Structure 1
Amino acid sequence: MRKIIIRRNAMRGFLKLVALVFLTGLASQNSWSREITYLRDNWRVQSEKEIQEIKEGGAKLSGPGVNLKVWYPASVPATVLAVLVENKVYPDPYYGVNLTKIPGYVSGRWLAMPEDSPFYPSWWYRTEFAVPESYQGKNLILHLDGINYKANVWLNGKKIGDEKDVIGMFRRFEFDITDLVKFRELNYLAIETIAPGKLPQKRYITKQLEATTGWDDHNPYPPDANVGIWQDVYITATGAIAIKNPYVQTKLEIPQLNEAHLTISADLVNRTDKEVSGELTGTIENINFKQAVKLAPREVKTVWFKPEQFKQLNIKNPRVWWPSPVGPQELYDLKMEVRVDGKISDDEKVTFGIREITSYINDEGWRTFKVNGKNILIRGGAWMTSDMLLRLTPKRYEALVRYAKEAGFNMLRSEGFSIRETEEFYSLCDKYGIMVTQQIFGRNIPDEKLAVSCVEDMILRIRNHPSLVHFLGHDETFPTQTLDAAYRELIAKYIPDRTYQPHSGAFNVKDRFETGGTRTGTLELWTYAGPAHYYTHKKDGAWGFAQSGGIGGVIADKESIKRMLPDDQLWPQWSEAFSLHTVIQGAEYFNYLRKAIYRRYGEPKNFDDFWWIITANNYESARGMFEAYARNKYSATGITTWKYDASWPAALTWQYVDWYLLPTGAYFGAKKACEPLHIQYSYDDNSIYIVNSYYREFKGLKADVKIYNYDLTEKFSKTEIADVAPDGKTELFKMTMPQGLSKSFFLALKLYDGDGKLVTDNFYWLSTTPEKPARRYFGAVALSKGSFFDHSDLRKLPPVKLSLSCQNKNSGSDQAILVSVKNPTNHLAFFIKMELLKGKDGLQVAPSYWSDNYFSLLPGEEKLVLVSFAQSDLETKEPVIKVGGWNIEPVDCAPGR
Structure 2
Amino acid sequence: MTFRPLTTDGGLAWTLAATNGPIPTELSGRTVPATVPGEVQLDLMAADLIGDPFDGDNEKAQEWIGCTDWRYRTTFSWAPTGHDREDLVADGLDTAATITLNGTVVATTANQHRSYRFDVTSLLVEGENEILVDFRAPVEFAREQEAILGALPTVMHHPFNAVRKTASNFGWDWGIDVASSGILRRIGLESWSGVRIAAVRPLVDVAGSVAGSSTGTGVLTAHVDLEWAGAPGSADVEVVVAGVASRIAASPTQSSVELRVDAGEVPLWYPRGYGSQPLHDVTVTAGDARWEGRVGFRTVGLDTTPDEHGTPFTISINGVAVYAKGANWIPGDPFLTRMTPERYRASVVDAVEAGMNILRIWGGGIYESDAFYDVCDELGVLVWQDFLFACAAYSEEDPLRSEVEAEARENVVRLSRHASLVMWNGCNENIWGYLEWDWRRRIGDRTWGEGYYTELLPAIVAELDPTRPYSPGSPFSFTRWAHPNDERHGTMHIWTVWNDLDYEAYRSYRPRFASEFGFQGPPAWTTLTDVVHDDPIDPYGHEMLVHQKAFEGNAKLERGLGAHLPRWRSIDEWHWSTQLNQARAVALGIEHFRSLYPLNTGSIVWQLNDEWPVISWAAVDVHGHRKPLWFALRKVYADRLLTFQPRAGSLALVAHNDHAEGWMETITVSRRRLDGTVLSEHAVPLDIAARGIATTALPAEVLRSGDERGEYLVAHGSDGSSAFHYFVEDTSLALAVPADALSVSTEAVEGGVRVTVTVHSLVKDLVLQVDRVDRSARVDDGLVTIEAGGSHTFTVTGAGDTSSWAGFPLLSSVNDLVAG
State the TM-score bracket (shorter-chain normalisation): 0.7 to 0.9
SS of match in other structure, 2:303? strand
SS of match in other structure, 2:130? strand
Count of paired positions: 759
Q: Which residue of 2 aligns with 1:350?
A: 293
Q: Which residue of 2 aligns with 1:694?
A: 659
Residue correspondence of structure 1 range 533-572 to structure 2 within 5 A: 533-534=505-506, 536-537=507-508, 541-550=509-518, 552-566=519-533, 568=535, 570-571=537-538
> Would you say the 8 A contact 1:831–1:885 is kept in 2?
no
> Would you say the 8 A contact 2:88–2:118 is kept in 1?
yes
SS of match in other structure, 1:45? strand
The offset of 1:152, in angstroms, is 1.1
Q: Which amino acid aligns with 1:682?
A: Q
The offset of 1:118, in angstroms, is 4.8
Is 1:398 aligned to residue 345 of structure 2?
yes
> Would you say the 8 A contact 1:703–1:719 is kept in 2?
yes
Q: Which residue of 2 aligns with 1:315?
A: 264
Q: Which amino acid aligns with 1:379?
A: K
1:644 to 570, 588, 608: 608
1:333 to 281, 287, 297: 281
Q: Which amino acid aligns with 2:359?
A: L
Residue correspondence of structure 1 range 283-682 to structure 2 within 5 A: 283-296=240-253, 301-307=255-261, 313-316=262-265, 318-339=266-287, 345-362=288-305, 363=307, 364-390=310-336, 391-440=338-387, 441-442=389-390, 443-446=392-395, 447-478=400-431, 479-481=449-451, 484-505=454-475, 510-511=483-484, 517-526=490-499, 529-530=502-503, 532-534=504-506, 536-537=507-508, 541-550=509-518, 552-566=519-533, 568=535, 570-571=537-538, 573-585=539-551, 587=552, 589-650=553-614, 652-682=615-645
> Would you say the 8 A contact 1:360–1:367 is kept in 2?
yes
- Distance of 1:836 and 1:887 partners within structure 2: 10
Q: Which residue of 2 aligns with 1:18?
A: none
- Distance of 2:200 and 2:790 partners within structure 1: 57
- Distance of 1:180 and 1:265 partners within structure 2: 35
The offset of 1:830, in angstroms, is 3.2
SS of match in other structure, 2:118? strand
Q: Which residue of 2 aligns with 1:768?
A: 728
User: What is the CA deviation profile of residues 593-647 of structure 1, one whole-angstrom value per residue up to 9, with x for unaligned ones?
Assistant: 3123153221111111112222222222222222222221120112212222222
Q: Which amino acid aligns with 2:720?
A: T
Query: What CA RMSD, in Å, does the superposition of the two structures yield over aligned residues?
Result: 3.4
- Distance of 1:615 and 1:498 partners within structure 2: 38
The 1:487–1:887 alpha-carbon spacing in structure 2 relative to 1, beyond 3 Å, is closer
TM-score, normalising length from structure 2? 0.85
> Would you say the 8 A contact 1:519–1:546 is kept in 2?
yes
The 1:171–1:728 alpha-carbon spacing in structure 2 relative to 1, beyond 3 Å, is same
- Distance of 1:172 and 1:645 partners within structure 2: 27
User: What is the CA deviation profile of residues 167-194 of structure 1, one whole-angstrom value per residue up to 9, with x for unaligned ones?
Assistant: 21111101123444456x4443211112
1:821 to 749, 756, 780: 756
Q: Which amino acid aligns with 2:229?
A: T
- Distance of 2:118 and 2:544 partners within structure 1: 47
> Would you say the 8 A contact 1:217–1:583 is kept in 2?
yes
The offset of 1:235, in angstroms, is 3.2
- Distance of 1:706 and 1:806 partners within structure 2: 36
Q: Which amino acid aligns with 2:492?
A: R
Is 1:122 aligned to residue 69 of structure 2?
yes
The 1:149–1:710 alpha-carbon spacing in structure 2 relative to 1, beyond 3 Å, is same
The offset of 1:686, in angstroms, is 2.3
The 1:665–1:482 alpha-carbon spacing in structure 2 relative to 1, beyond 3 Å, is closer
User: What is the CA deviation profile of residues 739-758 of structure 1, one whole-angstrom value per residue up to 9, with x for unaligned ones?
Assistant: 21333643333211xxxxxx
The 1:260–1:582 alpha-carbon spacing in structure 2 relative to 1, beyond 3 Å, is farther
SS of match in other structure, 2:457? helix
> Would you say the 8 A contact 2:502–2:560 is kept in 1?
no
Q: Which residue of 2 aligns with 1:802?
A: 744
- Distance of 1:351 and 1:882 partners within structure 2: 50
Q: Which residue of 2 aligns with 1:740?
A: 706
SS of match in other structure, 2:163? coil
User: What is the CA deviation profile of residues 807-857 of structure 1, one whole-angstrom value per residue up to 9, with x for unaligned ones?
Assistant: 45xxxxxxx87947341x4233332224666xx943134xx573x322122
- Distance of 1:403 and 1:355 partners within structure 2: 25
Q: Which residue of 1 aligns with 2:233?
A: 276
> Would you say the 8 A contact 1:326–1:693 is kept in 2?
no
Q: Which amino acid aligns with 1:210?
A: V
Q: Which amino acid aligns with 1:93?
A: P
- Distance of 1:597 and 1:577 partners within structure 2: 23
- Distance of 1:403 and 1:153 partners within structure 2: 40
Is 1:44 aligned to residue 44 of structure 2?
no
- Distance of 1:379 and 1:526 partners within structure 2: 23
SS of match in other structure, 1:262? strand
Is 1:169 aligned to residue 141 of structure 2?
no
User: What is the CA deviation profile of residues 345-377 of structure 1, one whole-angstrom value per residue up to 9, with x for unaligned ones?
Assistant: 210101111111211214221311112211111
- Distance of 1:284 and 1:410 partners within structure 2: 27
The 1:529–1:672 alpha-carbon spacing in structure 2 relative to 1, beyond 3 Å, is farther
2:130 to 188, 191, 194: 188
Q: Which amino acid aligns with 1:616?
A: L
Deviates more, 1:195-204 or 1:121-130: 195-204
Q: Which residue of 2 aligns with 1:198?
A: 143
The offset of 1:681, in angstroms, is 2.2
Is 1:222 aligned to residue 186 of structure 2?
no
Q: Which amino acid aligns with 1:859?
A: A
5+ unaligned residues in a row in structure 2: which ranges? 156-160, 432-448, 814-820
Q: Which residue of 2 aligns with 1:708?
A: 672
User: What is the CA deviation profile of residues 23-75 of structure 1, one whole-angstrom value per residue up to 9, with x for unaligned ones?
Assistant: xxxxxxxxxxxxxxx758632111114999xxxxxxxxxxxxxx999212122
> Would you say the 8 A contact 1:525–1:642 is kept in 2?
no
Q: Which amino acid aligns with 1:831?
A: D
5+ unaligned residues in a row in structure 1: which ranges? 9-37, 53-66, 106-116, 308-312, 340-344, 753-758, 770-788, 809-815, 892-897
Q: Which residue of 1 aligns with 2:695?
A: 731
> Would you say the 8 A contact 2:767–2:784 is kept in 1?
yes
The 1:515–1:188 alpha-carbon spacing in structure 2 relative to 1, beyond 3 Å, is farther
- Distance of 1:397 and 1:482 partners within structure 2: 30
SS of match in other structure, 1:653? coil
- Distance of 1:3 and 1:565 partners within structure 2: 45
The offset of 1:712, in angstroms, is 4.1
Q: Which residue of 1 aligns with 2:434?
A: none
The 1:95–1:679 alpha-carbon spacing in structure 2 relative to 1, beyond 3 Å, is same
The offset of 1:230, in angstroms, is 2.2
> Would you say the 8 A contact 2:7–2:187 is kept in 1?
no
The 1:174–1:743 alpha-carbon spacing in structure 2 relative to 1, beyond 3 Å, is same
Q: Which amino acid aligns with 2:174?
A: N
User: What is the CA deviation profile of residues 421-453 of structure 1, one whole-angstrom value per residue up to 9, with x for unaligned ones?
Assistant: 111221122122221111111144322222122
